[in-house]
């Protein structure tokens, strides 16, 4: 089960960030988030996100179902 950014990295999963207000979705690389914010649970990450489109703070984060490529 993926509950933290580290869990996502170990599982080699990107994350989907969804805005519950407007439906905007964006893929997020957990490695990049950890460089900026350190270790977070996905729940804590959700609380920090602000939608690029509507500027609301109604985010939801889910692990992507495919592994990232070899980068």
Is the pLDDT assigned to residue 53 strictly greater than 60? yes
Write the Ramachandran bin of 41: left for phi over 0, alpha for psi from -120 to 50, otherwise beta.
Answer: beta
This prediction's pTM: 0.88
Is the pLDDT assigned to residue 18 strictly greater than 70? yes
Average pLDDT in the 9-30 region?
96
Q: Name the phi and psi angles at 35, rounded to 5.
A: -65, -35
Q: Report d(CA 54, CA 7) in Å as an integer.
A: 29
Q: For the chain, what are the domain ranges?
A: 5-67
């Amino acid at each position: 089960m993926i509950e933290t950014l580290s869990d996502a990295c170990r599982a080699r999963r990107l994350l989907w960030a969804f805005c519950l207000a407007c439906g905007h979705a964006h893929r997020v690389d957990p490695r990049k988030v950890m460089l900026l914010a350190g270790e977070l649970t996905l729940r804590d990450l959700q609380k920090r996100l602000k939608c690029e489109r509507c500027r609301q703070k109604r985010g939801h984060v889910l692990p992507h179902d495919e592994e990232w490529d070899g980068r």
